[in-house]
């Protein structure tokens, strides 16, 4: 049997180094989403987010946590509407595009329109939301959305993010 890897234990008298926190947070596998919306002029905006979770069944709520510096954040806040698109395992290019600044993030993908919200046509799941609440989260904002419409499918596996890299679900041998 292999020896367990050593565990780093860090006690901080002051703030933790950002890299240390990223490394520790990165031990938790997450799904990958693309959050989309439109600004007041109808221009599509979006960002990649792995800080997404279900929150409540009644009422139907979810949350995601964009950085306060996210270029799409002002539009999402101003319109109070957004969509969460859960990416499938073949969607790394979409995830990377929406994590890159100063490019057309909506190029090279097929989009549906749900009452003015851009919905990724081949997303594993999509949720159209109205902004229910927002809370300060340090250098991020916790945005709670009330789900107004959704669709999903079971055939494909999700794209995962773990230890700073995209991963895929693998069936046991």
Question: What is the secondary structure of 115-142 as a DSSP string?
Answer: TTEEEETT-SEEEEEEEEEEEEETTEEE
Residue among 103, 93, 116 nearest 37 (CA): 116
Q: What is the pLDDT of residue 9?
A: 74
Query: How many other CB atoms are found less than 10 A from the CB of residue 168?
Result: 12
Cis peptide upstream of residue 59 (ω within 30 degrees of 0): yes
Q: For the chain, report the end-to-end CA distance as a whole number of angstroms.
A: 19
Q: What is the pLDDT of residue 51?
A: 95
Q: What is the pLDDT of residue 173?
A: 61
Tens-digit pLDDT profile for residues 46-70:
999 999 999 999 999 999 999 999 9
β-bridge mates for residue 78, sequence order? none
Contacts of 161 by beta carbon, 8 Å cutoff, 6+ apart: 29, 30, 31, 32, 50, 167
Residues of the chain with pLDDT under 70: 1-2, 6, 12-14, 171-173
Q: What is the pLDDT of residue 171?
A: 67
Q: What is the pLDDT of residue 169?
A: 84
Q: What is the pLDDT of residue 126?
A: 98
The values of phi and psi at residue 22, to 5°, are: -60, -45
β-bridge mates for residue 56, sequence order? 61
157: buried, middle or exposed (CB in 10 Å: 19+, 13-18, 0-12)?
middle
3-state secondary structure of 90: coil
Cα gap 20→35, rounded to integer Å: 27
Domains annotated on the chain, with CATH: 32-168 (2.30.110.10)
Contacts of 92 by beta carbon, 8 Å cutoff, 6+ apart: 159, 166
β pairing state of 159-162 and 165-168: antiparallel
């Amino acid at each position: 049997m292999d020896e367990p890897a050593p565990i780093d234990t860090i006690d901080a008298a002051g703030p933790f180094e950002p890299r240390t926190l990223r490394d520790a947070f990165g031990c938790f596998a997450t799904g990958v989403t693309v959050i989309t919306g439109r600004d007041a002029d109808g221009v599509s905006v979006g960002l990649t987010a792995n800080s997404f979770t279900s929150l409540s069944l009644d009422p139907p709520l979810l949350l995601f946590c964009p950085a306060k510096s996210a270029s799409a954040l002002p539009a999402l806040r101003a319109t109070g509407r957004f969509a969460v698109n859960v990416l499938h395992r073949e969607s790394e290019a979409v995830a990377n595009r929406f994590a890159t600044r100063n490019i057309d993030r909506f190029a090279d993908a097929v989009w549906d329109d749900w009452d003015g919200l851009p919905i990724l046509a081949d997303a594993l799941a999509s949720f159209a939301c109205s902004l229910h609440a927002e809370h300060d989260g340090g250098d991020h904002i916790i945005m709670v959305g009330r789900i107004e419409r959704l669709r999903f499918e079971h055939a494909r596996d999700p794209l995962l993010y773990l230890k700073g890299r995209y991963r895929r679900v693998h069936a046991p041998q």
